[in-house]
Amino acid sequence: MSALENDVSELHERNLRILEALLFASAEPVDLRDVAPFLSDGADVDALIDALQARYAGRGINLVQRGSKWAFRTADDLNFLLRREETDTRPLSRAALETLAIIAYHQPVTRAEIEEVRGVSISKGTLDVLMEAGWARMRGRRRTPGRPVTYGTTEAFLDHFGLESLGDLPGLEELKGAGLLSSRVPPSFSVPMPFDGALRDDEDPLDPDDQGDAETESED
């Protein structure tokens, strides 16, 4: 190996170690744009993450993607060995679980649309619980009369449920197999694919005073 090749190899390994250390040190999934400044000039971050992911494949800890971010997580087949200590063990209510499922599959969705799907009204507290858990967020405002707030899931939602992207949500057949849907659902029934990412054409950005309180919805 030439001196130049040796230098390139050493630089690559140093970048891998830096990336590894930053990911391990973070309690939350990491955006690769945030680690780029710590790497050498011109470092190929995508190639580094691929190399690090391959290095941890098959180990007790795997490098996984959560939305647009990355994190080290216990291998799926070893999750039974660990029990997370929870500061609040109170389970979500049925209303909260149903609301979260509707948000996940129908996003971006307004409060009125959630109520239409559920067939009953929801309290503001239900949405607050999901947002306090970090699993739901206000996305924007729908370009319709009243400009209702639209809701969507977060990357923390993906991380908690072990999803790389919303496309990994269970489909119709998987939901049937898990007993979450009747095997006799109408032929016209379908599971919608959620919309993720940037605001849609029918959404406006949130107003500055929206961030603190969902009660600013005009549809209330």
Mean pLDDT of 32-47: 90
Check whether 2 has a pLDDT greater than 90: no
> Does the residue 46 lie in any domain?
yes
Q: How confident is the model at residue 95 (pLDDT cuts 50, 70, 90)?
A: confident
Q: How confident is the model at residue 217 (pLDDT cuts 50, 70, 90)?
A: low
Residues 151 and 136 sit within 8 Å (Cβ to Cβ) = yes
> Does the residue 88 lie in any domain?
no
Q: Give yes or no: residues 27 and 104 share one domain.
A: no
Strand 203-204: give its sheet, edge to edge: 109-110, 149-153, 136-142, 203-204
Give SS3 for 109: strand
> Does the residue 108 lie in any domain?
yes
Tell me the one-letter amino acid at 156.
Answer: A
Q: Give yes or no: residues 31 and 114 share one domain.
A: no
Q: Give yes or no: residues 110 and 204 share one domain.
A: yes
Check whether 41 has a pLDDT greater than 70: yes
Give me the number of domains the chain comprises: 2
Convert the pLDDT of each residue in 188-213 to its tens digit: 666 677 666 778 888 988 887 776 55
> Does the residue 138 lie in any domain?
yes
The whole-model pTM stands at 0.62
What per-residue confidence (pLDDT) applies to 209? Answer: 74
Mean pLDDT of 46-73: 91
User: How does DSSP classify residue 137?
Assistant: E
- List strand residue ranges (DSSP E) for the chain, in order: 30-31, 61-66, 69-74, 109-110, 136-142, 149-153, 203-204
Check whether 89 has a pLDDT greater than 90: no
Q: Give yes or no: residues 56 and 161 share one domain.
A: no
> Does the residue 68 lie in any domain?
yes
Strand 30-31: give its sheet, edge to edge: 30-31, 69-74, 61-66
Which of 104, 118, 108 is closest to 161 using CA atoms? 104
Q: What is the CATH number of the domain that holds 136?
A: 1.10.10.10
What per-residue confidence (pLDDT) applies to 55? Answer: 93
Mark which of 81, 109, 141 sits at the end of a domain: 81
- Report how far residue 65's alpha carbon sits from residue 30's, in angstroms, rounded to the nearest whole number: 9
DSSP letters for 14-29:
HHHHHHHHHHHH-SS-
Cis previous bond, 108, omega within 30: yes
Convert the pLDDT of each residue in 120-143 to its tens digit: 888 878 999 999 989 999 999 999
> Does the residue 47 lie in any domain?
yes
Phi, psi angle pair for 64, to nearest 5°: -125, 155
Residues 206 and 149 sit within 8 Å (Cβ to Cβ) = yes
Show the domain range for 16: 9-81
